[in-house]
Structure 1
Amino acid sequence: MTSRNRSTRVSILSALIGATLAVPAAFAGQVDTAGIQSDGSYARLVVKYRDSARLRTAAADRVAETIAGAAARAGIAGGVARGGAALPLSASRLRATASQADVVRLSRALDANQTQALLRQIAADPSVEFVQVDRRLTHTRLPDVRPMLVPNDNYYQQYQWHLHDAIGGIGAESAWETSTGEGVVVAVLDTGITAHPDMDANMLEGYDFITDAFVSRRDSDERVPGAADLGDWNPVANECYAGSPVTDSSWHGTHTAGTVAELTDNATGMAGVAHDAKVLPVRVLGRCGGYTSDIADAIVWASGGEVDGVPTNASPAEVINMSLGGGGACDTLTQDAINGAVSRGTVVVVAAGNQGQDAANHSPASCANVINVGATGITGIKAYYSNYGNLVDLSAPGGGVTDGNPDGYVWQAINSGATVPEDPTYGGMAGTSMAAPHVAGIVALIQSAVEVPKTPAEIEAILKESARAFASAPSQPMGAGIVDAPAALALALDGGGEEPCEPGEPGCEEEPPIDSTPITSGQVVTGLSGVAGTEGLYRIEVPAGMRNLNVLTYGGTGDVSVYVSRGSEPGADEHDWASTRPGTNETVRVANPEAGVYYVKVVGESLYARVNLQARYN
């Protein structure tokens, strides 16, 4: 049996699918098919050229020519004229993204097979760097879960279990003794924000990044200051996709922003995790969701990067929360935007998704350089709907585990309007959308408390190392455990998450290894023998970038157990991993091991002889 008491760092890799093209590989563009569903239709693409050479040809003409030629080679028509003749597929350029890719609209929507054929032909142009669909993402709350109550008192104790419950909550009250998030900006990329007396004082102006009037419900495709949520209701069935239902507005952005920084200790309504932080609302979702190209630009802008046509963000965010997602692996445009945000020091928190599937098949949950959050409930166990897998970093309260009101929901500020905004109120939702802003709020608490801001990598390490165990071990991987606000703060203030210094740097002293026998990867140590209680301690140094570390014993007779820890001597009572099966065949597997020294202890449970030990990384 293999067990694990503490988490290790998970290295997240995005899946990018390359196409085989009839041009030399050095000149073939990348075809990114992330987000293309077999039953979907697509009318918007993103094309990036290798040069900035709009110098040679006007951008609109260039991209129109590229797509028209690609469609002709793929045999894709744009429609049928009155006389029965086939019309060519055409495209119009909408704008450039922050990464200088072109967003284009096709003259008609294509099915999945036609779309992939067109992408392959576009990528065959040697001047194209990459091409992908501009897919739509949606928020990640459960549908039709939004009970309301009329505000007339302080609802914190009765409703907000997710902040204070000893089993399912995040321990907010203890954390608030140390930090309330003052001085930190958290960007919430969502449906925008509605006016609310329990929210307004902590809301910055923000920006509306939606460039499609149908989606935004504004009177133009232009981006505008402010992030007012005009409603994301759908009055017509099948309006968004085949089978899409009629729905009321969600007011999702107000709810997630409330979790981050709702006003607290004001004798009104409810509380927020980092209630002295400021929220920068960025509207990227509206009717039928939001386009990848708009979301990617919003990530760049929120983190302090430059976006054409939008004023520089005067309040760059230390944290970005994205409670949104869609099917398919992380795409190039989104990954580039996230990488840029992280390079500017911004922590990016995302929801794992609500499909009960592996998060590797959803975006932005499968993107690298994010903190990917699954959902638990008041009982401290996995929510039935939460996505899971090795890409989930840790979990947080999302509701939906315990039936009943209020324990089945996460409660925050909301709006009472069925379609357009009406009166402010409070309501419960459930989903990984609700889990992610708990983590974003805790990041704000940490960054406010420390003297020098932690890097995104340090924050991730702190959150995972300080997470507490699930009340019952989930059947699928759900990350390091449940996020714990006071434990994360304590670890951060104690120097947790600091990257090790390099020997020889000023002030850096290399600690001597614990007295142990060094072994190398693949080396077999033979002839281990002893009586019950005999111990042998070995160490192996694992370099960065390894996918696996496997430690095993085999052969001989008797009974042994194996304990493994990174950086410290393991034992039966304290270890990171262990294998304690009867006999001599023990196996410990460490996925994506952090670089460092791993100590292996072999303990005799009874008389044993001629046992072999091997540790191998790859």
Structure 2
Amino acid sequence: MEVGGKVLGFVRPLALPEWGLYRVEGIAPLGLEALDLEALSQTLEGVPGVEKAHPNYVLDVLKTPNDPFYPYQWHYPAINLPQAWDIEDGRSRQVVVAVIDSGIKKQHPDLAPVLLSGYDFVSDPQRSGDGDGRDPDPEEPLGTGSSYHGSHVSGTIAASTNDGVGVAGVSWGAKILPVRALGAGGGSLADIYEGLLWAVGLDVAGVPRNPNPAQVVNMSLGGPVPCPDFVQEVIDRANQQPQKPIIVVAAGNSQDDARNYAPASCAGVITVGATEYRGYRAYYSNYGPQIDVMAPGGDTTVDRNGDQLPDGVLSTVWDEYSDQPSLDFMQGTSMASPHVAGLVALMKARNPNLGLGEVLSILKQTARPLNDQACTGWPHDRVEVNLSGSDCGAGLVDAYRALQMVAGGGGGPGPGPDFQIQLSPASLTLAPGQSGQVTVNILGSGGFNGSVNLSLEGNPPGVSGAFVPNPTSSSSTLTLTVAGTVSPGTYSLRVRGVSGSLVKEATLGLTVSTAPPPSRPTVRGAYVFALYLTPDEEDIDPDRSKYVRIDRDGNSAPYSIPNLEGGKYVVVGWKDANGNQDVDEGDYLGVYMDNRGDYRVIPPKGGVDFALELMVSSFGTSSDRARVRDWVQKVWRRP
């Protein structure tokens, strides 16, 4: 029989009635790998008398690690990881994964072989628990009430695998760069994001340069605030590093819209929500248009798989009572994020040139979408929302399909030119008559270099948008205008991008408030403080600190603080907007930081410019902000 220019020779009948085995004649066995057997089978099905045809694939045993507790890691088969390991297990090329978290237990036998020298960025000795501030030892100390979160996250990414000990990691060959930025009660923005800059190879004042810049960064942390400008700037700088680092972040565990949390709401990251054993969204996981993909985060309150153990994610921890290495089940988007970070490490091992656009495109194209019921997560007595499938991003990652699409290792051709759209911010709150701006980023992949024509879709009457520039191949600024006639409410808009046959969309949330927010007051009456830092830089000396009053109208004003002593200062602005003589909610406060996030100023430095920010109820949730607020209060009330 001749089909599609190929001669098929009959070999023998098969055990199934009316099925037979045929061989493509005249081609050596190794040459068969170059044939598109799927296409040949489809052509054959078009021949009269042929009902079905299928390639006679050669199957092999899936790579299975011998770690004794691997059978309890149900979360790996959930993303087709065993099949993926047959394509790439991470040992073909070393990939460095930074874990910005609570530190590490270096003695754990599943972690010790995969660790690089990291750094402890916790600057507050009271928070660090190890008796000092920043130091070269990212060890998480005993006695701090820790759950050993950083060790658990690290084990999921790259626990020493196939060594007959403990559990398996997603990547068998990745190296962990531990960056300790969380201590007792969390971590400050300055510590976390200076840790990120250091992790990817950028200089941080007072810290030796990192000799092993990360290609992947995992941040299983966050707070209830939309992405601050400072954080976005740090992420943007990190993404510009030559090794093209990929930053993977947890969506948050508040069963809320991820647009209200950072770094989950920042542009330039991969935001990961959590699923449980059934593949449903875990009841606690954040959701919404900011979610890129989902990964197993577990649910320790149930045992749906019948193994008599909680359905959490099993990984490495430390038993504080016996002071011995241990394993434990945990749940959270903190556990989902390292699955994706580990998968990205496998992708980078296969092709180190992959950037954010390519990685995000592959993960989204190969993910398995969640339907409305699966994304909502019911039936579950703690689910309080009704969601659509799109609220869970592209769906549950599929490691096998993702690695199949990665070029550079015999796994088939990579994806063709493509792009994704990311919005920063992904939501706006405007009053009737107001305008706001959104940055629209075009993330190209597969060699995409075309222009994208942008348009605003789904906008109600009275809401209009203008893109500058348009078209664009990199980024554009969308100015959204709300007419005075628009009714208050919440609207779901779409930013559409078209380039040839490619059409992509990103969801933009718009809340039209009932009244305009209070206007920013004039700077008249504001004070600028030069707060003198003590030698350990952990407190200020009120007696050496000075301040001046601004007596000029307008939104900005020059200032000068004369007669400062030699030393280091923190420069802070404050306006007592509510007039109660306290530095509190309703006032405006601002702190100077340079473009590296360093707040220290040595006179007679000029150009110390900064903006005042309205203090709301969540303002003091950052320990650094609370400390600055207390410092200003201390100087203001000085006798």
Report the equivalent of 1:274.
171
Q: Deviations over 1:261-290 (max 9, x none)?
A: 001111111100012110101000010100
Tell whether 2:368 aligns with 1:455: no
Q: Note the residue ranges of structure 1 that are not aligned, 5 or more in a row.
A: 1-151, 234-247, 502-540, 551-588, 601-618
The letter for the 1-side match of 2:131 is D
1:368 aligns with 2:263: no
Alignment partner for residue 295 of structure 2, among 396, 399, 403?
396
**Alignment partner, residue 307 of structure 1:** 204
Q: In the aligned structure 2, how far is the partner of 1:497 from the partner of 1:340?
A: 27
**What is the DSSP-based 3-state SS (H/G/I as helix, E as strand, rest coil) of the residue aligned with 1:412?**
strand
**Aligned sequence identity (%):** 42
Matched, 1:265 2:159: no
| Aligned equivalents of 1:464, 1:200: Cα separation in 2 | 33
Matched, 1:162 2:75: yes
Query: Aligned partner of 1:367: which letter?
Result: C
In 1, distance between residues paired with 2:494 and 2:221? Answer: 27
Given residue 406 of structure 1, which amino acid in structure 2 is its aligned partner? L
Residue 227 (structure 1) aligned with residue 126 (structure 2): no
Question: Could you say if the C-alpha distance between residues 410 and 232 of structure 1 is closer, same or farther in structure 2, counting changes exceeding 3 Å?
Answer: farther
Structure 1 counterpart of 2:285, from 366, 386, 395: 386
Q: Structure 1 residues 202, 295: closer, same or farther in 2, change over 3 A?
A: same
Which deviations, in whole Å up to 9, do the C-alpha atoms of 1:224-261 show, x marking residues without a partner?
1121011573xxxxxxxxxxxxxx32100000000000
The answer to whether the 8 A contact 2:67-2:167 is kept is no
Asked if the contact 1:187/1:281 (under 8 Å) is kept, the reply is yes
Tell me the SS of whatever aligns to 1:224: coil
AA partner of residue 480 (structure 1):
A
Q: 1:226 to 1:495 in 2, by over 3 A?
A: farther
Cα offset, 1:590, TM superposition: 8.9
- Deviation at 1:406? 3.1
Please show how residues 524-563 of structure 1 align to structure 2 within 5 Å. Answer: 543-548=452-457
* Aligned pair partner of 1:415 in 318, 321, 340: 318
The number of residue pairs the alignment matches comes to 351
**Contact 1:376/1:401 (CA < 8 Å) preserved in 2?**
no
Letter in 1 for 2:316: A
Does residue 1:427 correspond to 2:341, yes or no? no
Q: What is the aligned counterpart of 2:80 among 171, 174, 180?
A: 171
Q: Which residue is 1:214 aligned to?
A: 126
**181-190 vs 471-480, which deviates more?**
471-480
Shift of 1:591: 3.4
TM normalised by structure 1 equals 0.54
- Displacement of 1:473 in angstroms is 3.8
Question: Any idea what the Cα deviations from partners look like across 1:392-440, whole Å, max 9, x if unmatched?
Answer: 101000001771253520001111115xx81001100000000000000
Separation in 1, partners of 2:455, 2:194: 33
Indicate yes or no: 2:79 matched with 1:180: no
Does residue 291 (structure 1) correspond to residue 188 (structure 2)? The answer is yes
Q: Distance in 2 between matches of 1:592 and 1:319?
A: 29
Q: How much does 1:181 deviate?
A: 2.0
Structure 2 unmatched ranges of 5 or more: 1-65, 377-386, 420-449, 460-491, 504-639
* Aligned equivalents of 1:497, 1:549: Cα separation in 2: 30
CA distance in 1 between partners of 2:454 and 2:123 (Å): 40
**Counterpart residue type for residue 255 of structure 2:** G
For the residue of structure 2 that corresponds to 1:364, the secondary structure is coil
| Bigger Cα Rg | 2
Structure 1 position 438 matched with structure 2 position 378: no
| Equivalent of residue 367 in structure 2, options 444, 455, 467 | 467
Match of 2:405 among 473, 478, 491: 491
Counterpart Cα distance in 1 of 2:234 and 2:114: 26
Question: Given the superposition, is the C-alpha separation of residues 440 and 599 from structure 1 closer, same or farther in structure 2, using an over 3 Å criterion?
Answer: closer
Identify which of structures 1 and 2 has the higher relative contact order when contacts are C-alpha pairs closer than 8 Å and 6+ apart: 1
Once the two structures are TM-superposed, the CA of residue 311 in structure 1 deviates from its matched residue by 1.0
Q: What does 1:115-126 correspond to in 2, within 5 Å?
A: none
Residues 198/171 of structure 1: CA separation in 2 closer, same or farther (3 Å cut): same
CA contact (8 A) 1:549 1:593 kept: no
Q: Distance in 1 between matches of 2:458 and 2:452?
A: 10
Q: CA separation in 2, counterparts of 1:546 and 1:352?
A: 28
What is the rounded CA distance, in whole Å, between the counterparts of 1:593 and 1:231 in structure 2?
Answer: 51
